[in-house]
Amino acid sequence: MTRLTKLVMGIRFLVMIWVCLTLLACSEKPPEWSLYDVSGHLPDLSFSLQAAGNQTLTQEDLNGKTVLLFFGYASCPDICPTTMAQLSQVVQDLGDEARDVRILFISVDPHRDKPDMLQAYVDAFNKNAIGLTGDEQQVSDLARRYRVAYQIEKPKPGDDPNNYEVTHSRGVFIFDNLGHARLLASDTEQTDALTKDIRQLLKLTQSSSKH
């Protein structure tokens, strides 16, 4: 074996080591989620709904944002205000990292929840939260897209037409900054578990964008 051949083989060996070290440096240990990992099991964020000020918002208005989405209604007596308060606490606990996080509250009760009133409702919890609704078909289609069940009872004969019961399934859908569904939280999750996983997701997506 000539000296030149040995030199070439040595260079190739060093290159192979460098490539392996680079790949190891770029590969990160998969995060351990406290929430349900739904990556690849639910569709991307996609909607066109009515917001306050007679505006129409779509998923494109939230490009680059990590979205915490849940369905409910403003006159909900327990689940919705509790969830809004919890998500607002999560955003607060994230500190500066929350600048690219948005809470998205979608009402399944468009008859009573008009966009301006809905926005006032979510503003009471978090000024960066967004309240949205649409006509019955829009809301139904979007709920079906994310496998959310709800039912609106008809008012009893002679009762106030605005006095009726609404039931809906629970859960917070978490989408990354590219609009991909990543995590699902039940309403029994602890605030610190939500905060931890959202912080991990923010770091993971930031790291991915660098590569």
Which residues are documented as binding site? 76, 80, 168
What residues contact 181, with CB distance under 8 A and at least 6 apart? 38, 39, 41, 42, 43, 44, 45, 146, 173, 174, 175
Q: How far apart are CA 39 and CA 11, in angstroms?
A: 41
Residue set of the binding site for Cu cation: 76, 80, 168
Rounded to whole angstroms, how far apart are CA atoms 161 and 154?
A: 8
